[in-house]
Amino acid sequence: MRYQGILFDADDTLFDFQVGNRNAVNALLDEIGYLHPDRYDQYEAVNLACWAELEQGRLTQDALRTERFRRFYAKYGIDRDPRQDGDRFVELLGGQSILLPHAEDVVREIAKVKPVLILTNGITSVQKRRLALSPIRDVISGAVISQEEGAAKPNPKLFDRALKRLGIARGAALMIGDGINSDIRGANNAGIDACWYNPGGKVLPAGVHAEYIIDDIRQCVEIALR
């Protein structure tokens, strides 16, 4: 078989991060009493900017945990401790283990034949708890998490750690994910084949390529097992 190991992104590829994140944000903002009707969009704009800085290497995972709340609170005049609430948010988010449709079946089908490893930019405690709560916990070969490894996608170091964990060469791995910069550019940087999960019909920017493009996660089974 061409591929000896499959690397899967977690959020928005296997896990419904949008629903889980919204649930956790709203639960926290309920707790602190911030009830603005646009509160989720307000927070998420700040949060996404922080994640972009993480991928650019301008913000560390540990700093992001607090910094997104510090900026959010400063912008909207909320008098709270961002570190304390950042920790509480991580706790709430860790309980959100919602898989996208067909994700469990896809992972189980592939894992019958070859190892499946999760490769994710994320906070260790959040990702580990979500994986532990998920129905795929018994079939995956583990997870390589950016906070633990000190490098985040698209940095090729994180991909190298994943390859080492599986004991396979670059040409024997396939990365499956939805993130243009983190997953696909990251795979390009690492010299690994990429399968872009693109349900939204986006277009890859110049300088980024994917060996496969799919709009239904079920399509990756044939690619992974061929």
pLDDT digits over 36-83, tens only? 999 999 999 999 999 999 889 899 988 999 999 999 999 999 999 999
Question: Residues 192, 213: one domain?
Answer: yes
Among 78, 94, 110, which residue terminates a domain?
94
Joined together, the tokens standing for residue 159 give 């991909």
Domain end call among 94, 121, 138: 94
Residue 24 contacts residue 81 (beta carbons within 8 Å): no
Which of 199, 190, 191 is CA-nearest to residue 217? 199
The angle that helices 82-94 and 124-133 make with each other, rounded to 10 degrees, is 20
Beta strands at 193-197 and 212-214: parallel, antiparallel or unpaired: parallel
In this prediction, what percent of the chain has a pLDDT beyond 90? Answer: 94
How much is the pLDDT for 61? 85
Nearest-angstrom CA–CA distance, 69 and 195:
34
Instruction: Report the pLDDT value the prediction gives residue 174, as an integer from 0 to 100.
Output: 98
Tally DSSP H helices, then E strands, for the chain: 10, 6
User: Which of 123 and 165 is assigned the larger pLDDT?
Assistant: 165
- CA dist 196 and 191 (Å) reads 15
Residues 57 and 143 in one domain: no
* Residues 88 and 115 grouped into a single domain: no
What residues pair up with 196 in beta bridges, in sequence order?
177, 213
Instruction: State both tokens at 125.
Output: 């405690």
- φ/ψ of 193, rounded to 5, equals -60, 145
pLDDT digits (tens, 9 = 90+) for 173-224: 999 999 999 999 999 999 999 999 999 999 999 999 999 999 999 999 999 9
The domain in which residue 111 lies consists of: 5-16+99-225
The whole-number average pLDDT for the span 92-104 is: 97
Mean pLDDT value across the chain: 96
Q: Which two tokens stand for residue 188?
A: 């390009």
Q: Is the peptide bond before 37 cis (omega within 30 degrees of 0)?
A: no
3-state SS assignment for residue 177: strand
CB neighbour class for 132 (10 Å; exposed up to 12, middle 13-18, buried from 19): exposed
Q: What is the C-alpha to C-alpha distance for residues 86 and 83, in angstroms, rounded to an integer?
A: 5
Task: Answer yes or no: do 217 and 123 share one domain.
Answer: yes
Same-domain check for residues 146 and 127: yes
Residue ending a domain, among 69, 94, 119, is: 94
Q: Are residues 28 and 130 in the same domain?
A: no
Strand order through the sheet with 5-8? 143-145, 116-120, 5-8, 173-177, 193-197, 212-214
Residue 66 in contact with residue 193, Cβ under 8 Å? no
For residue 226, what pLDDT band results from cuts at 50, 70 and 90? confident
Tell whether 83 and 144 lie within a shared domain: no
Considering the domain architecture, whether residues 75 and 135 belong to the same structural domain is answered as: no
